[in-house]
């Protein structure tokens, strides 16, 4: 079998053809995964989606207190991320700005 990886770019589907209805880029499950802050990695086998892997960073327990301490010192907090905007918005709970 040939395996590929790909990501969704706008309305385009990269790295996959004829996805199974249960595992599709635009399925309700895929939307829910992204809305909950997960990054979704699609595994494509011979042109069909064979699996979806969810990845997510955990925010450390001490992060909120560290951000509060920095704000109390007059420091503005900005989050820089390589994640999608949707994933970043879920994580933006404790920063002033997200880029």
pLDDT over 70, % of the chain: 61
pLDDT at 2: 56
**d(Cα 14, Cα 32) in Å, to the nearest integer?**
20
Domains of the chain by residue range? 3-55, 63-98
**d(Cα 79, Cα 28) in Å, to the nearest integer?**
28
pLDDT at 46: 79
pLDDT at 74: 94
* Residue with more model confidence, 59 or 21: 59
**d(Cα 86, Cα 92) in Å, to the nearest integer?**
10
Q: pLDDT for 10-51, tens place per residue?
A: 444 444 444 444 567 677 777 787 777 777 788 877 777 777
């Amino acid at each position: 079998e040939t395996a590929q990886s790909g990501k969704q770019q706008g309305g385009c589907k990269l790295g996959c053809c004829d996805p199974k209805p249960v595992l599709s880029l635009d399925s309700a499950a895929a939307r829910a995964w992204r809305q909950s802050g997960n990054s979704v990695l699609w595994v494509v086998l011979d042109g069909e989606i064979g699996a979806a892997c969810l990845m997510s960073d955990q925010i450390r327990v001490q992060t909120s207190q560290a951000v509060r301490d920095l704000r109390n010192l007059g420091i503005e907090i900005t989050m820089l991320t390589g994640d999608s905007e949707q994933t970043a918005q879920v994580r933006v709970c404790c920063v002033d700005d997200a880029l």
